[in-house]
């Protein structure tokens, strides 16, 4: 587990890849603090040292000499190289290794999520491995995932745009009406966490809360078996509304 400054402020990171956002955040923050300290120092120092005093004239320069150009150019280049290029480098690696590197391993847990005003509809494919069939496990506002396996989500909104946000995983992703978007995460420790909506979705946006229950593999399996049994009993072929799922998008 990584240790970050001010950890009391934020939620516990229980994900395999959340450290990436944190690491980049704190690197950027450190660089910003240094840059801002220098700017503030220059502001305060100049304000005090060069305040108007009788008999002291300002220097007459337009700052167009070679030395001024060189200093400005070197400092701007330094900012770009030490801060920006590093951010791009690290972030490119992050998205390549994690964000856009969707899991393909067979043990991936696949879940379809369809938010609506103001709830989270959640669907597992069931024993047949195919979504939108009678054996699908469907829950409301409760997502269960096992520890240590990649979890991939297909998101599609029913009515307005919502955003699936799990702070303990440093992850959020929009769910749009009309088409499927994808995201993924992997938990490293069990526990009960909150699912939040982070896109304004109407006046009760603040109440759009779900539970993310991360369980050890055995507990998850037990729950899933039970839920699959329930699913078959509960399925009503006459109720077309029940089949809100879609063909899985890898």
Partner 1 sequence: MGNAAMTVPATVRHLHVGPDFHAEQHIHPEPTSFLAKYIFSFDHKVIAKQFLWYGLFFLAMGGVMAMMIRWQIAYPGTAFPVLGQLMWPQSGGVMPPQSYAAFFTMHGTLMIFFAITPILIGAFGNLLIPLMIGARDMAFPTLNLLSFWTNVLAGLCMVVSFFVPMGAAAGGWQSYPTLSTLVGSPGHGQTLWVLGVFLTGSASIMGAVNYITTVVRLRAPGMGYFQMPLSVWGIWLTAILNALFVPVLAAGVLLLFLDRVFGSHFFLAGAAITKGGGDPVLYQHLFWIFGHPEVYILILPAWGIVSDLLSFFSRKPAFGYKATALSMSVICLLSMVVYGHHMFVVGMSPLLSQGFMTLTMLISIPSAVFFLNWLGTMWRGSIRFATPMLFSVGVVFVFGLGGLTGLHLGAISSDIYLHDSYFVIGHFHLTMAASVLLGAFAAIYFWFPKMFGKMMNETLGKWHFWLTIVPITVVFCGMLVVGYAGMQRRLYNYQAYDFLKHLHPINVWVTRAALLLGASQFLFVANFLSSMISGKKATENPWEVGTLEWTIPSPPPHHNYDEIPVVLHGPHEFNNPAVTGKDWLAQDEPIGDEPR
Near partner 1 in 121-140, by CB under 8 A: none
Among 134, 147, 160, 188, binds partner 1 (CB under 8 A): 160
The residues, any chain, with a CB within 8 Å of residue 82's CB and separated by 6 or more, are 31
156 close to 175: Cβ distance less than 8 angstroms:
yes
Judged by CB under 8 A, the stretch of 127-135, 143-151, 175-183, 222-230 that binds partner 1 is 175-183
CA distances from 110 to 102, 146, 196, 220, 225 (A): 11, 12, 20, 14, 16
Nearest distance, CB of residue 126 and partner 1, angstroms: 23
186 binds partner 1 (CB under 8 A): no
CA distances from 70 to 35, 63, 76, 78, 166 (A): 19, 11, 10, 12, 47
Give the span between the Cα atoms of 7 and 12, in whole angstroms: 8
Output 109 or 201, the one with its CB closest to partner 1.
Answer: 201
Using alpha carbons, select from 134, 111, 140, 136 the residue that is nearest to residue 126: 136
Give the span between the Cα atoms of 64 and 166, in whole angstroms: 52
Among 99, 108, 132, 133, binds partner 1 (CB under 8 A): 99
- The count of chain residues that interact with partner 1, using the rule CB under 8 A, is 97
53 binds partner 1 (CB under 8 A): yes
Q: CA dihedral in degrees (185, 190, 192, 198; nearest 10)?
A: -20
Output 29 or 250, the one with its CB closest to partner 1.
Answer: 29
54: cis peptide before it, omega within 30°?
A: no
11 binds partner 1 (CB under 8 A): yes
Give the span between the Cα atoms of 38 and 36, in whole angstroms: 5
75 binds partner 1 (CB under 8 A): yes
Nearest distance, CB of residue 236 and partner 1, angstroms: 19
Query: In the numeric block, which tokens belong to residue 193?
Result: 């966490």
104 binds partner 1 (CB under 8 A): no
Output 26 or 227, the one with its CB closest to partner 1.
Answer: 26
Binding mask 13-42 for partner 1 (x = CB under 8 A): -----x-xxx-xx--xx-xx--xx--xx-x
Output 61 or 218, the one with its CB closest to partner 1.
Answer: 61
Output 95 or 130, the one with its CB closest to partner 1.
Answer: 95
Nearest distance, CB of residue 28 and partner 1, angstroms: 5
Nearest distance, CB of residue 77 and partner 1, angstroms: 8
250 binds partner 1 (CB under 8 A): no
């Amino acid at each position: 587990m990584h240790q970050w400054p001010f950890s009391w402020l934020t939620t516990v990171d229980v994900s395999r890849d959340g450290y990436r956002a944190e690491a980049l955040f704190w690197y950027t923050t450190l660089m910003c603090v240094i840059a801002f300290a220098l700017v503030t120092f220059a502001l305060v120092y100049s304000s005090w040292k060069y305040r108007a005093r009788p008999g002291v004239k300002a220097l007459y320069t337009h700052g167009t000499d070679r030395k001024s150009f060189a200093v400005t150019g070197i400092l701007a280049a330094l900012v770009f190289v030490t801060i920006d290029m590093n951010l791009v480098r690290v972030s490119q690696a992050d998205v390549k290794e994690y964000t856009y590197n969707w899991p393909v391993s067979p043990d991936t847990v696949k879940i379809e999520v369809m938010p609506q005003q103001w709830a989270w509809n959640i669907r597992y494919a069931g024993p047949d491995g195919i979504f939108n069939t009678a054996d699908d496990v469907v829950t409301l506002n409760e997502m269960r995932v096992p520890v240590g396996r990649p979890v991939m989500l297909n998101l599609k909104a029913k009515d307005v745009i919502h955003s699936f946000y799990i702070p303990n995983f440093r992850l959020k992703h929009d769910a749009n009406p009309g088409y499927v978007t994808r995201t993924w995460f992997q938990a490293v420790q069990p526990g009960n966490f909150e699912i939040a909506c982070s896109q304004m979705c109407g006046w009760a946006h603040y109440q759009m809360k779900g539970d993310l229950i991360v369980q050890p593999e055995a507990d998850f399996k037990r729950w899933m078996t039970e839920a699959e049994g329930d699913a078959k009993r509960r399925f009503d072929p006459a109720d077309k509304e029940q089949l809100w799922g879609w063909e899985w998008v890898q």
